[in-house]
Amino acid sequence: MQIVQIIENKVYWIAPYPSLDAVPPFSDEIVLVEAPDDVRVGWLYDGKGGFTEPPKEPESPFEPEPTNMDIMGAIQTLTEKVDEGFGLS
């Protein structure tokens, strides 16, 4: 088991304490609970001791942004085509 901090029903922080008994006094607004070792930051907490992984984000229907290398390659290709068109290559 591990100790985690909960904010807005999400695991916000995995605390470096071996048990709740070892946790120093914090503000009453800080919620620390025991969680299984496989729980990670961002997991959802149901308020009753249950944890679930956050839902997977849907894949974007858009193509990824081109990288600088993609753009430079496209410029090089266009430059070569322009050079060929003017008989420069």
Dist CA 43 CA 77 (whole Å): 46
Dist CA 9 CA 54 (whole Å): 11
pLDDT band for position 64 (cuts 50, 70, 90): confident
Question: Is the pLDDT assigned to residue 43 strictly greater than 90?
Answer: yes
Q: What is the pLDDT of residue 36?
A: 94
Chain-wide mean pLDDT for the chain?
90
Q: What is the pTM of this model?
A: 0.60
Q: What is the pLDDT of residue 83?
A: 82
Domain boundaries, the chain: 2-52
* Mean pLDDT for the stretch of residues 56-78: 88
Radius of gyration of the chain (CA): 26
